[in-house]
Structure 1
Amino acid sequence: MSLKSTFKGFLGETVINVAMWLKLEKDVYHRLNGITLPRANGGSTQIDHIIVSVYGIFVIETKNYKGWIYGSEKQKQWTQSFPNGSKFKFQNPLRQNYLHIKTLADLLGLELSYFHSMIAFIGECELKTRDELPEHVLTSGMVSYVKKKQDKLLTEEEVKSIVEQIESNRFSKLWRTNRQHKAYLKDKHSQSNKPPSDHFNSQSVAKIT
């Protein structure tokens, strides 16, 4: 990845960080950014943003893309297309975020119903298959989507416990961690005939009911 694309990716992450910081109450919505967690297969999963609140756990996958985006809920890969005719394939972010949520759910001992998936396209792109995608695939209104969820699923004590458990299980925020995660992804994708593992053998963590 070039320095330019790395900077643009960082800029996109900063945009959504600032938006969340300014418009979501810190004492209600607890934000965790750039979380890398271990997986049972010896690899890792990297989650862009997690927001923990009494209204559930929001897991956000951000995509800072340009061009036209084609894809449906069930497709394994989506396509990024440009006016000059060039096209690029990328992993279906809905599937990608499901694995993030599954890892978190197993780690915390929670049912999937406690989680809200969000896919945030924050670049100058257009979703060409908007009608075929669920409402949590967004190009704007991320904060509004979070605030729309008003059913209380967790207590304040459970929220605090969840934040502590995520922090205690995450890998340290080091350049080496990011490099190792990218090396794992490269190796994983080079073995396309090997199905990904959906399970995480977590340490003994009390289940929140």
Structure 2
Amino acid sequence: MEFHGKVREIVPYDHRRHTGGYGFINSDDNQSIFFLLAWANYQPVQVGDWVEFETEYDENQRIHANPVARDEDKLIKNVKQALTRGGYKTARKKLPVPGVTAINTNMATAYENLNVLQNKFGADNDVPPASMLSTINEWISLIVELSSKFEDEKTLQAILIKRNLLPKPQQLEELQNLQVMIRKMNYEQRGRYYGVRGEQIVQAKLEQHHLAYIKNPTLPEFDSNGNVVGATEIDFIVISMFGIHVLEVKNYGANKNQEQKLTISRDGQWQRIGAPQENVTNQNDLHIAAVEGVLFGSKQLKDVAPVKLLTTPVFVIPNENVEIANYSAEHVVRVGLLYDTLVHDVRKTRQVVLENDEIAKIIGVLKEALEENREFQYFLPNEAFLSDAYELERRYNIAQYIYEQREQIYQ
């Protein structure tokens, strides 16, 4: 016999022998059904719940419930009523997971695409554009956390999943993977943001002293045999009467909210508080090799003494926040000492390193070698990313409302 009804009273049976184990459901139609509490699919079945279960007679001819569950049809009806009260509707389309796509493009285009999305998100949400990735990541965390809250509400959880208001298990995994990707993009974007600001400060200093430079050139990367094996992007190449200098801008400490101390060991290892050790020196060695590889291999510069084509690395920290402890032989300077560092050798010897015609030739050779449209793989939000994120947040709000209305739904 099937039973559907509203629980009016639950009476535990023989507390001394079966504490909380057995009891009676007294229903609206005055049936007193003996049942095993532990069999209830929802723990615990409460007074006011609509329940359904099969019944049979035990050896003492008592009606026995086997098992007990909340009445899903009644629960669905109550959920619909709750949605109507809140002015919400369920969704026909499955709950969206914002997507990230691997795109082959150059760096400038990649970040321009991301900036367009961020500006649109800022306009739509009245928040700073740079917070787009963090905000959407927070939305994902909210819906993942809410899904876990429904673990004790299995039938209600299943109803909301079926109505595309909560993510399915596979979608939960996709959302968590997406969070990892977003954190990576956010880290790179913040680094790019502070990096660009740092480069702007350095650029202003170079222009103040009327020094010729090439900004963000991408040059071929050579192996030990002189073969091109890739490409490398450089922050600045400064070509002047003082020689050729390759500038690597590291805006460490730009975020004033974080304590920053930079230590460069004798062997060129860079270490910051709260960050893994980096070998920035080796990174700039690749840049030096790229510049010298282009210059030494150029026919236009055969009449320039090779010693003049040697490049000098300079690391620039464009802020006053970070504490610097440099134990290496490298030039690691703040912007205020950049010009003094570039002119040091010429001031010491009183001899110009490069003549004006040589400067012009070197700039021409380097620009000819640029790989401005060199493409790399970037992971960027796809076209539907923002609309999917907005819809994800909307459905979270609906599911959260249902969670808050549980008491009324179960009555």
Same fold, TM-score > 0.5, yes or no: yes
Superposed displacement of residue 112, structure 1: 7.6
Superposed displacement of residue 16, structure 1: 0.8
Q: 2:310 aligns with which of 85, 102, 114?
A: 114
Q: Which AA in structure 1 matches 2:264? A: G
Question: What's the TM-score once normalised by structure 2's chain length?
Answer: 0.37
Superposed displacement of residue 56, structure 1: 0.8
Superposed displacement of residue 113, structure 1: 6.7
Larger radius of gyration between Structure 1 and Structure 2:
2
Across the aligned residues of Structure 1 and Structure 2, the Cα RMSD in angstroms comes to 2.4
Q: Which AA in structure 1 matches 2:192? A: T
Match of 1:47 in 2: 234
Q: Which AA in structure 1 matches 2:271? A: T
Report if aligned partners of 2:263, 2:270 keep a CA contact under 8 Å in 1.
yes
Match of 1:87 in 2: 275
Gap change, CA 1:143 and 1:152, over 3 Å in 2: same
Any gaps of 5 or more consecutive residues in structure 1? 184-209
Q: Which range moves more in the overlay, 118-127 or 61-70?
A: 118-127
Report if aligned partners of 1:105, 1:111 keep a CA contact under 8 Å in 2.
no
Match of 2:376 in 1: 180
Partner Cα separation in structure 1 for residue 191 and residue 282 of structure 2: 24
- Aligned to 1:58, the other structure's residue is in SS state strand
Partner Cα separation in structure 2 for residue 181 and residue 137 of structure 1: 31
Residue 20 (1) aligns with residue 202 (2) = no
Q: Which AA in structure 1 matches 2:248? A: E
Gap change, CA 1:112 and 1:126, over 3 Å in 2: farther
Residue 101 (1) aligns with residue 263 (2) = no
Partner Cα separation in structure 2 for residue 137 and residue 70 of structure 1: 11
Report if aligned partners of 2:232, 2:287 keep a CA contact under 8 Å in 1.
yes
Gap change, CA 1:99 and 1:181, over 3 Å in 2: farther
Residue 136 (1) aligns with residue 331 (2) = yes
- Aligned to 2:234, the other structure's residue is in SS state strand
Partner Cα separation in structure 2 for residue 42 and residue 142 of structure 1: 32
Deviations 1:100-153 (A, max 9, x none): 1122112111448732221112242112x33x1236111241122123232322
Residue 169 (1) aligns with residue 369 (2) = yes
- Aligned to 2:354, the other structure's residue is in SS state coil
Partner Cα separation in structure 1 for residue 308 and residue 277 of structure 2: 28
Report if aligned partners of 1:62, 1:120 keep a CA contact under 8 Å in 2.
yes
Match of 1:64 in 2: 251
- Aligned to 1:50, the other structure's residue is in SS state strand
- Aligned to 1:88, the other structure's residue is in SS state coil
Q: Which AA in structure 2 matches 1:146? A: L
Q: Which runs of 4+ in 1 moved over 4 A?
A: none
Superposed displacement of residue 181, structure 1: 7.8
Superposed displacement of residue 180, structure 1: 1.2
Any gaps of 5 or more consecutive residues in structure 2? 1-184, 223-227, 254-259, 297-305, 380-411
Gap change, CA 1:112 and 1:105, over 3 Å in 2: farther
Partner Cα separation in structure 2 for residue 20 and residue 74 of structure 1: 29
Residue 153 (1) aligns with residue 353 (2) = yes
Partner Cα separation in structure 2 for residue 54 and residue 181 of structure 1: 38
Partner Cα separation in structure 2 for residue 114 and residue 170 of structure 1: 19
Superposed displacement of residue 39, structure 1: 1.5
Partner Cα separation in structure 1 for residue 252 and residue 202 of structure 2: 14
Partner Cα separation in structure 2 for residue 52 and residue 182 of structure 1: 31
- Aligned to 2:353, the other structure's residue is in SS state coil
Superposed displacement of residue 98, structure 1: 2.2
Gap change, CA 1:168 and 1:137, over 3 Å in 2: same
Q: Which of structures 1 and 2 has the larger relative contact order (alpha carbons within 8 angstroms, sep 6+)?
A: 1
Match of 1:34 in 2: 216
Report if aligned partners of 1:69, 1:125 keep a CA contact under 8 Å in 2.
yes
- Aligned to 1:154, the other structure's residue is in SS state coil
Q: Which AA in structure 1 matches 2:270? A: W
Q: How high is the sequence identity, in percent, across the aligned residues?
A: 22
Partner Cα separation in structure 2 for residue 166 and residue 181 of structure 1: 25
**Larger proportion of helix:** 2
